[in-house]
Amino acid sequence: MISESMWRDLVARRAEEPQAALACLRSRQRRPLMTDGRMFIVAADHTARGMLGVPGEPFAMADRRRMLEALAVALSVEGVDGVLASADVAEDLALLGLLDNQLVFGTMNRGGIAGAQWELDDRMTAYSATTLHSNGLDGGKVLLRLADNDAGTALTIERCAQAVDECAALNLPIMVEPLPYTVDTSSGKARLLDDDDALLRAVAIGAALGGTSTATWLKVPASRDPKRMLATTTLPALILGGTPGADPEAAYASWERAMEVPNVRGLVVGRSLLFPADGDVEGAVRRAARIVRPVAH
């Protein structure tokens, strides 16, 4: 969907009209956050913390044109409400004219570089609440990885709580993505825990960040028992897609099951839809859209 002339124009404008990206982002046609109680957001913030691959293709997302083409397809599908991105991706999409009547959420803490020894000391290196507001975005997102055996977690909790307060003060919704982690004592690498009890505990901590929860949305895995996981809070939640697996049908089934929980309001999915194993981006996105809004589809 991105022709050679469009691509060359995009690259040229980045060099010759650097402020045009912000002008396009700020002046785009806006829409309400919620129209029918559901929300379907496509995630494209992975590259900002050095996560470039999908299974079988370790550098798939390092091809910016390919990623933008996949996002162009995804955003054209009825039922998609917007995108979650870092500033460089959001501004590319704005320059391409793809963000009119789309929600745009900006990722905030991307300093926990994938695979780094300091991965869980996840600092705010992307959007701040101030730049989200001044650049015309609709909300923010923080990743909160909690590891009892890594002291860097404490600073991340504090920074995420501050982001929650700053977004709330500007009336900007903020997605909080709480995940249980541990640090492997032999390798020093951070590892996601596949433990429903630990996930429930992480959700409880994430829901309580800051001096008010009025702006907070939770972004959580589907888990084996989403009803139990979300019984700990009344806050609205969006189900995340996670790492693409070998069995996409299992992923779709888990999202569908999670949508039955009352405070689950939709999906935030990225790599599973933008880089599906069969290459059919539109088909994958349409399938997810039917899960979010089964009556409309």
- The CA distances from residue 136 to 31, 42, 77, 107, in Å, are 12, 18, 23, 14
Q: Return all residues near 24 (Cβ < 8 A) that are at least 6 apart.
A: 91, 94, 95, 97, 99
- Report if residue 215 sits inside a domain: yes
- Report if residue 56 sits inside a domain: yes
- Report if residue 104 sits inside a domain: yes
- Report if residue 227 sits inside a domain: yes
**CA–CA separation, 202 and 213 (whole Å):** 16
**CA–CA separation, 257 and 260 (whole Å):** 6
Radius of gyration of the chain measured on its C-alpha atoms: 18
**CA–CA separation, 110 and 8 (whole Å):** 28
What single-letter DSSP state applies at residue 181? E
* pLDDT tens across the length of the chain (297 residues): 799 999 999 999 999 999 999 999 999 999 999 999 999 999 999 999 999 999 889 999 999 999 999 999 999 999 999 999 999 999 999 999 999 999 999 999 999 999 999 999 999 999 999 999 999 999 999 999 999 999 889 999 999 999 999 999 999 999 999 999 999 988 889 999 999 999 999 999 999 999 999 999 999 999 999 999 999 999 999 999 877 777 889 999 999 999 999 999 999 999 999 999 999 999 999 999 999 999 755
- Report if residue 214 sits inside a domain: yes
- Report if residue 285 sits inside a domain: yes
**CA–CA separation, 217 and 240 (whole Å):** 12
**CA–CA separation, 237 and 78 (whole Å):** 21
Closest CA to 96 of 61, 77, 72: 72
The CATH number of whichever domain residue 235 belongs to comes to: 3.20.20.70
**CA–CA separation, 280 and 70 (whole Å):** 10
- Report if residue 231 sits inside a domain: yes
Report whether 47 contacts 117 (CB < 8 A). no
- Tell me how many domains the chain contains: 1
Show the domain range for 182: 4-292
**What totals of helices (H) and strands (E) does the chain contain, helices first?**
11, 9
- Report if residue 175 sits inside a domain: yes
